[in-house]
Amino acid sequence: MIENGATPPVSTDVREDWVRSPITREDFAARISALRARASSHDVPALDHDGLLRYGSRVVPVSPTEMYLLRPLVQRFGSLVARDELLTLLSTRGSTASRNALDLHVMRIRRRVLPLGLRVRTASRRGYLLEGVG
pLDDT, position 131: 94
Contacts 24+ apart (CB under 8 A), 31-37: none
Strands (E), 45-134: 46-47, 52-55, 58-61, 81-82, 118-123, 127-132
Residue 86 has pLDDT above 70, yes or no: yes
Percent of the chain's residues with pLDDT above 70: 91
Question: Roughly what angle, to the nearest 10 degrees, separates helices 99-113 and 64-75?
Answer: 80
User: What tens digit of pLDDT does each residue of 37-85 get?
Assistant: 666 555 889 999 999 999 988 999 999 999 999 999 999 999 999 999 9
pLDDT, position 64: 93
pTM passes above 0.85 = no
Residue 94 has pLDDT above 60, yes or no: yes
Residue 119 has pLDDT above 60, yes or no: yes
pLDDT, position 127: 96
Mean pLDDT within 13-26:
78
